Amino acid sequence: MSSDNQDTETHSEQVDETQESQDTNSNPVRSEEAKLKAKYPSLGQKPGGSDFLMKRLQKGQKYFDSGDYNMAKAKMKNKQLPAAAGPDKNIVTGDHIPTPQDLPQRKSSLVTSKLAG
């Protein structure tokens, strides 16, 4: 008895849903577009235009030079592999010129993928 009621309830809900979606269906994209234009009025007329594509062609983080790049990489490596640094020393590379005693004994080994674990 109660399950019958539930079924009819769901059915009428579904009917309401379809009617609702039909109304907005005629222009869900248009209303989304209006929303976007309201938020960013300066957005260019041609979204597929050259500015947009140029940005896409030049993806990737820009560094000042190779030194900047290597310093950033050293900082990131030290963060990811804290065990690689010396036992009691703080992370040394990336911030100041290290002394031979400060450096880890060998190049920190690359971490194996977790898929293979």
Partner 1 sequence: MDGDGDGQSRWCLSQVKGAVDDDVAEADIISAVEFNHSGELLATGDRGGRIVIFQQEQESKNLPQCHAEYNVYSTFQSHEPEFDYLKSLEIEEKINKIRWLPQKNAAHFLLSTNDKTIKLWKISERDKRPEGYNLKEEDGRYRHPSSLTTLRVPVFQPMDLMVEASPRRVYANAHTYHINSISVNSDNETYLSADDLRINLWHLDFTDRSFNIVDIKPANMEELTEVITASEFHPLQCNTFVYGSSKGSVRLCDMRASALCDQHSKLFEEPEDPSTRSFFSEIISSISDVKFSHSGRYMMTRDYLTLKIWDLHMESRPVEIYQVHGYLRSKLCSLYENDCIFDKFECCWRGDDSEVMTGSYNNFFRMFDRDAQRDATLEATWENGSPGCPLKTWRVSAGSRRKRNEIGVDCLDFSRKILYTSWHPQDNIVALATVNNLYIFQEKLN
Residue closer to partner 1, measured from CB, 24 or 89: 24
Rg (CA), the chain: 29
Q: Is 106 in the site for partner 1 (CB under 8 A)?
A: no
Closest separation between CB of residue 39 and partner 1, Å?
8
Residue 55 engages partner 1 in binding (rule: CB under 8 A): no
CB atoms within 10 A of CB 78: 19
Tokens at 45, concatenated: 């007329």
Kindly tell me which residue out of 65, 75, 92, 107 binds partner 1, with binding defined by CB under 8 A.
65
Cβ–Cβ < 8 Å for 85, 106: no
Q: Are 92 and 102 in contact (CB under 8 A)?
A: yes
d(CA 65, CA 9): 66
117 is an interface residue for partner 1 by CB under 8 A: yes
**11 is a site residue for partner 1 (CB under 8 A):** no
Residue 59 contacts partner 1 per CB under 8 A: yes
Which residue carries 């248009």 as its tokens? 30
**Binding positions for partner 1, rule: CB under 8 A:** 17, 20-21, 24, 28-33, 35-37, 39, 43, 47-50, 53-54, 56-66, 69-70, 73, 80, 110-117
